[in-house]
């Protein structure tokens, strides 16, 4: 059996997804391969560093001055961290602004994994969310000072957005009543790339490749991991508890994004950095890759096709397309 080695998700999709309309794909000269090696290294290139040129830094300073003339100069930056989207890189970068010489920002997080290899499953997602919300209410939201920014990191079992929308409304109201700003941020990535990348967690969850995606054959099984759409809506709580069709899930997720999120990007860490610096007034600090997984995982052509079919039926392909069209102008050149 022939094998094809690649570290690029673009090549992966080139080989197996042919003319997928949702993404721009070309044919590869290696398309006779029946299996592939996939490295789930997330997509920060250029020597594992997001770089902004000196000219871009000057542009940020100009934009920052314009932003700060018309918007509050204090606030809370909340980063809703979906696993395997390069979020550890962003979270580490945000932490650079806690020392006084860089930003003197306070940093808050509380999250809880739902599985430990030695202890198995534990279902305390509701208690974890309660602790995160309580910490926000006590430590992050009150008594913001002029020119003060506080950072909050929401991750596994921190916040279940589908059922906790009222909390986002309440936090924004409280912060704005202080003359400050709530700046909610999130990063997504290509849905197939995300799904393949998550397989790196299979061993620590005592799973196998054949079992890894079985839950996607059901509309409601929670499984050992969540797609981006499911994590955004339900985090690691009950998946699709009302058994909604994928169209309703996508519609609900887009409602939440449009109502509550101020910065939404797909894979573009450079733009995320640029926009955060403009809004907060922080000085530029390098963003270096973190939590990079270099071991290659091997998937057959059939397995990749089945995964793509499953995440399409779950709504993730439509969701990421909708995100790109709404927030990044995807296909706008065609009048879409």
- 129 is written with which tokens? 């969310």
User: Which residues face 299 on adjacent strands?
Assistant: 36
Contacts of 32 (CB under 8 A, 6+ apart): 2
- d(CA 253, CA 320) in angstroms, rounded, equals 10
Task: Indicate if the alpha-carbon torsion angle 94, 198, 222, 204 is positive or negative.
Answer: negative
pLDDT at 203: 64
Return the C-alpha torsion angle 97, 101, 105, 107, nearest 10: 60
Q: What is the DSSP string of 180-201?
A: -EEEEEEEE--HHHHHHHGGGG
- d(CA 211, CA 222) in angstroms, rounded, equals 13
pLDDT at 56: 57
Contacts of 146 (CB under 8 A, 6+ apart): 73, 74, 179
Residue range 243-282, pLDDT digits in tens: 999 999 999 999 999 999 999 999 999 999 999 999 999 9
pLDDT at 68: 46
Residue 84 has pLDDT above 80, yes or no: yes
Q: If you count DSSP H runs as helices and E runs as strands, how many of each does the chain have, helices first?
A: 11, 12
Residue 19 has pLDDT above 80, yes or no: no
**Of the candidates 257, 232, 202, 273, the residue with the CA atom closest to the CA atom of residue 44:** 273
User: Which residues face 3 on adjacent strands?
Assistant: 35
pLDDT at 15: 38
Average pLDDT, the chain: 80
Residue 213 has pLDDT above 60, yes or no: yes
Residue range 230-252, pLDDT digits in tens: 999 999 989 999 999 999 999 99
Residues 175-201: what's their mean pLDDT?
Answer: 93
- d(CA 234, CA 31) in angstroms, rounded, equals 37
Residue range 113-143, pLDDT digits in tens: 876 655 555 667 788 999 999 999 999 999 9
- Give yes or no for a contact between 41 and 294, defined as CB atoms under 8 angstroms apart: yes
Backbone φ, ψ for residue 154 (5° rounding): -100, 130
Residue range 22-52, pLDDT digits in tens: 433 333 333 333 334 433 333 333 345 666 5
Q: How confident is the model at residue 146 (pLDDT cuts 50, 70, 90)?
A: very high
pLDDT at 142: 97
Q: What is the pTM of this model?
A: 0.79
The helix, strand and coil proportions of the chain, stated in percent and rounded to the nearest 5, come to 45, 15, 40
- Give yes or no for a contact between 256 and 276, defined as CB atoms under 8 angstroms apart: no
């Amino acid at each position: 059996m022939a094998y094809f080695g690649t570290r690029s998700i673009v090549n992966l999709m080139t080989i197996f997804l042919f003319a997928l309309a949702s993404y721009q794909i070309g044919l590869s000269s290696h398309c006779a391969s029946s299996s592939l090696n996939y490295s789930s290294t997330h997509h920060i290139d250029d020597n594992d560093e997001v770089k902004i040129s000196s000219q871009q830094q000057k542009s940020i300073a100009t934009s920052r001055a314009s932003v700060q003339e018309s918007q509050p100069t204090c606030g809370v930056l909340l980063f809703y961290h979906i696993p395997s989207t390069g979020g550890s890189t962003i979270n580490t970068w945000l932490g650079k602004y806690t020392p006084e010489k860089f930003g003197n920002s306070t940093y808050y997080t509380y999250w809880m994994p739902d599985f430990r290899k030695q202890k198995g499953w534990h279902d305390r997602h509701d208690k974890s969310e309660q602790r995160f919300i309580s910490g926000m209410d006590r430590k992050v939201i009150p008594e913001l000072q002029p020119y003060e920014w506080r950072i909050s990191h929401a991750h596994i079992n921190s916040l279940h957005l589908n059922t906790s929308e009222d909390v986002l409304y309440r936090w924004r109201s409280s912060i704005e009543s202080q003359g400050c700003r709530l700046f909610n941020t999130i990063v997504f990535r290509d849905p197939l790339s995300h799904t393949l990348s998550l397989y790196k967690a299979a061993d620590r969850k005592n799973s196998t490749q054949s079992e890894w995606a079985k839950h996607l054959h059901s509309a409601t099984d929670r499984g050992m991991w969540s797609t981006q759409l499911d994590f955004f809506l339900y985090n690691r709580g009950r998946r699709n508890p009302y058994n909604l069709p994928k169209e309703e899930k996508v519609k609900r997720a887009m409602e939440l994004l449009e109502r509550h999120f101020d910065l939404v990007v797909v894979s573009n860490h450079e733009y995320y950095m640029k926009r955060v610096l403009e809004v907060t007034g922080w000085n530029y600090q390098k963003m270096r890759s973190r939590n990079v997984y270099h071991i290659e995982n091997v998937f057959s052509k059939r397995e990749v096709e089945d995964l793509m079919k499953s995440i399409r039926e779950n709504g993730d392909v439509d969701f990421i397309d909708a995100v790109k069209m709404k927030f990044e102008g995807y296909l706008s050149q065609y009048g879409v």
